Amino acid sequence: MNFQWIEEGIFGMALSPIKADGFRTLFFSPLASHREFAVSTKILRDKTLAENSYQEFVALDERGHGGHTTATFMDDNGLMFFNLIDQNAVGCWDSSRHPYHQKYHGLVDQDDVGLVFPSDVKVDRHQNLWVVSDRMPVFLVADALDPKDINFRIYSTSVANAVRGTVCEPEYQQYSSHNVFGYDNDPFAITYVK
């Protein structure tokens, strides 16, 4: 299926942990772009600064081909998770260790069946990653969903399991690829291949 994102505005927004100056960084991206942007909440909280500080809004590197995102979340350690809707995948970036650059973005999981349009990502207070996927592009094109198919999924795994084998893992070690959400056998199982 060929599905085009054309003129969509800001979708994904995430807040960094509190910085030394007492403020956070807001990361955001429009759906119609592969680029991430950032601005200090110090600017956003002061109307005078916000109106006269366009240069404070920083354009970060692009995520690259297939890098459209609608949902991002940054945990208290500065680890960002984001959906990659063109790739039916979830990605990560560790802001505490690396600049925002494509080579430091990890692929947490990719599944052309279970992660068709991963619509939301969150990390809870117990450091569990939650991903919701639905078949929104299928619905928009076909104007209906197959009631005999699984059209909505909720996945969960620990953050540690999610980043294992990626550049986002705290002490990066290369493992062979893995299916974090284990969809092949059981939609709720987590499997790794080492």
Give me Rg for the CA atoms of the chain.
17
Instruction: Residue 95: name the closest of 66, 61, 68, 127 by CA.
Output: 61
* Whether pLDDT at 93 is above 80: yes
Give 10-22 pLDDT, tens digit per residue. Answer: 878 999 999 999 9
Contact between 106 and 125 (Cβ < 8 Å): no
Provide the pLDDT for residue 53: 81
Ordered by start, the domain boundaries in the chain are 10-163
What spatial distance separates the first Cα and last Cα of the chain, rounded to whole Å? 33
Contact between 133 and 114 (Cβ < 8 Å): yes
What's 10-163's CATH class? Answer: mainly beta
What is the DSSP secondary-structure string of 159-185?
HHHHHTTSTTSTT--------TT-TTT
| More confident of the two residues 135 and 49 | 49
